[in-house]
Amino acid sequence: MARSRRKRRRSSRPIHGGGGIPPPIPAVLSTQKAQSHVKRFVLILLVLLLMPALLHAEIIDRIAAVVNDEPITVLDVNREMASLKKEAERNPALIAGKSDAELRKMVLDRLIDKKLVEQKVRELDIKVGEEEIRQAIEDVKKQNNLSQEALVSALANQGMSFDQYKAQLKEQLERLRLVSQEVRSKIQVGDKEVREYYDAHKSKYTTDETFHARQIFFKLDKNPTAKQLRDTMLRAIRVMVYLKAGLNFADMAKKYSDDPNAKTDGGDLGTFHKGDMIPEIEDAVTRMKPGEISELVMTPVGFHIIKLESITPGAVRPFDEVKGAIEEQLYRKKSEERFNEWVKELKQNAAIDIR
Note the pLDDT tens digit of each residue in 188-247.
Answer: 899 999 999 999 999 889 888 999 999 999 999 989 999 999 999 999 999 999 999 999
Model pLDDT, residue 45? 45
User: Total structural domains in the chain?
Assistant: 3
Q: For residue 35, tell me if it sits in a domain.
A: no
Do 193 and 322 belong to one domain? yes
Model pLDDT, residue 32? 52
Query: Can you list the residues of the chain whose pLDDT is less than 50?
Result: 1-31, 34, 38, 42-43, 45-50, 53-58
Question: Could you tell me where the DSSP H helices lie in the chain?
Answer: 2-11, 25-60, 74-88, 100-123, 130-143, 148-157, 162-182, 191-200, 226-244, 249-256, 262-265, 279-285, 319-348
Q: What is the dihedral of CA 226, 231, 236, 237, to 10 degrees?
A: 90
Do 298 and 334 belong to one domain? no
Q: What CA–CA distance (Å, rounded) separates 45 from 49?
A: 6
Residue among 243, 245, 236, 331 nearest 293 (CA): 243
Residue among 19, 350, 331 nearest 187 (CA): 331
Q: What CA–CA distance (Å, rounded) separates 205 from 195?
A: 13
Question: Could you tell me where the DSSP H helices lie in 126-225?
Answer: 130-143, 148-157, 162-182, 191-200
Q: For residue 2, tell me if it sits in a domain.
A: no
Do 239 and 177 belong to one domain? no
Integer angstrom CA distances of residue 109 from 25, 66, 104, 113, 343: 70, 12, 9, 6, 11
Q: For residue 274, tell me if it sits in a domain.
A: yes
CA 81 to mean position of chain CA atoms: 13
pTM for the full predicted model: 0.52
Do 199 and 334 belong to one domain? yes
Do 91 and 228 belong to one domain? no
Q: For residue 122, tell me if it sits in a domain.
A: yes
Residue among 143, 142, 146, 166 nearest 154 (CA): 146
Residue type, 154: A
Model pLDDT, residue 253? 96
Residue among 109, 116, 118 nearest 68 (CA): 116
Model pLDDT, residue 8? 43
Do 354 and 219 belong to one domain? no
The residues, ordered by sequence, that sit 6+ positions from 148 with a Cβ below 8 Å of its Cβ are 141
Do 116 and 175 belong to one domain? yes
Tallying the residues shown for the chain, one arrives at 355
The CATH code of the domain that includes 227 is 3.10.50.40
With H, G, I as helix, E, B as strand and everything else as coil, classify residue 125.
coil
Q: For residue 251, tell me if it sits in a domain.
A: yes
Q: For residue 62, tell me if it sits in a domain.
A: no
Do 200 and 324 belong to one domain? yes
Do 270 and 302 belong to one domain? yes
The range of the structural domain enclosing residue 214 comes to 207-312
Q: For residue 5, tell me if it sits in a domain.
A: no
Q: For residue 295, tell me if it sits in a domain.
A: yes
Domain boundary among 186, 219, 246: 186
Model pLDDT, residue 28? 43
The tens digit of pLDDT for each residue in 12-51 reads: 444 444 444 444 444 444 445 545 554 555 445 444 444 5
Do 118 and 129 belong to one domain? yes
